[in-house]
Amino acid sequence: MRQALAEAGAAPATGDVPVGAVVLGPDGTVLGRGRNEREATGDPTAHAEVLAVRQAAKHLGEWRLTGCTLVVTLEPCTMCAGAAVLARLDRVVYGAIDEKAGAAGSLWDVIRDRRLNHRPEVIHGVLAEECGGLLTSFFRESDFRPHRPVG
């Protein structure tokens, strides 16, 4: 989680919300890293988890991340939860819950939905206060306004 927090800490430099993620291989090796880059890139799918999963798949040379763990500072949204399922990750570990958009147990539980053919293990609350504090500080100290084109 400390590595994911380091990624999250770098996101505000580009105007992005501080969320960070890493994908660990079965032996604990970091296979992929990501931080939110939606504001930096203008890509609505540039969430930390998606970027880390993409990098891990590229590193392994395949889309199946069997045996791997996604570690993320904030509970995944529906898109990221779906990516975790589709990538066949073994587990998802997250810090802070996301009561507004969380899809790994709080608002929804996409990851463990029994109707899906793959259900990663979910471990939540790892360094939750530190992860949540980073987000709280960001929103309190910034005048964060997502870029919205005029017109």
pLDDT tens digits for range 3-21? 999 999 999 999 999 999 9
Write out the binding residues: 47, 77, 80
Catalytic-residue membership of 49: yes
- Architecture of the CATH domain 1-139: 3-Layer(aba) Sandwich (3.40)
Domain boundaries, the chain: 1-139
Write out the binding residues for Zn(2+): 47, 77, 80
| Cα–Cα distance for residue pair 2/58, rounded to 1 Å | 23
pLDDT (0 to 100) of residue 151: 47
In the set 7, 37, 39, 49, the catalytic residue is: 49
pLDDT (0 to 100) of residue 141: 86
Q: For the segment 44-100, what is each residue's pLDDT rounded down to a tens digit?
A: 999 999 999 999 999 999 999 999 999 999 999 999 999 999 999 999 999 999 999
Record the tokens describing residue 129, joined without a space.
Answer: 């206060």
pLDDT (0 to 100) of residue 4: 98
Q: For the segment 17-42, what is each residue's pLDDT rounded down to a tens digit?
A: 999 999 999 999 999 999 999 999 99
Which amino acid appears at position 22 of this protein? V
